[in-house]
Homo-oligomer: A and B are copies of this chain.
Amino acid sequence: MVGNGAGLRSGQVAEMTGVSPDTIRHYERIGILPHPPRSCGGYRLYSADVIERVHLVRRALQLGFTLAELSEILRVRDKGGIPCRRVLHLAEEKLRSLEHQIAELRQTQTYMKSLVRQWRSKLALTDPSSKALLLHSLIDDGSSLPNTKKKLRRRK
């Protein structure tokens, strides 16, 4: 058993939030979780509300927020500031890039679908010992694939 009166240790927070203890410590390092008080032995003793903060962070990450952005936002908030407009602005940006990304993926999906269909039938008709040149059919067929340069990434 564990003396719960004092607070939650990192491992417990990790367990309760579905995150590794390493990640909890990492979040503290980069200023997303506050430095909690320590037990006499040096263990972190978190108060229960850190659970909600971790949940919030995970949510925001899924939405495309960055740890750096969250760190900045939460720091403002913790100092009594009002990051709401910033949050909304960021969310609008995330939404736009999300829509852009989806459009690109759907374009790729369409292309890929037709390619797979074409390859399947070509392969069915081809002597298994001869080259079907599948990959070759992606050369210069001129059709539409997104030429993305930007990184649009979400989640780990």
Contacts and interface: CB of A to CB of B under 8 A. Distances in A.
A95 B95 CA distance: 24
Contact of A84 (B87, B134, B146): B134
A6 interface: no
Contacts of A123: 84-85, 88
Given A59-B145, A62-B145, A130-B82, A73 B135 contact: yes
A91 B134 CA distance: 10
Contact-residue bracket for chain A = 35 or more
A154 interface: yes
A67 to B, nearest CB: 14
A5 B39 CA distance: 76
Interface of A: 52, 55-56, 59-60, 62-64, 73, 77, 82-85, 87-88, 91-92, 94-95, 98-99, 101-102, 105-106, 108-109, 111-113, 115-116, 119-120, 123, 126, 128-136, 138-140, 145-146, 148-149, 151, 153-156
22 contacts: A56-B135, A56-B136, A56-B138, A60-B135, A63-B115, A63-B138, A73-B135, A77-B135, A82-B130, A87-B134, A88-B116, A88-B123, A88-B134, A91-B112, A91-B134, A95-B109, A95-B113, A98-B112, A99-B109, A102-B102, A105-B154, A153-B153
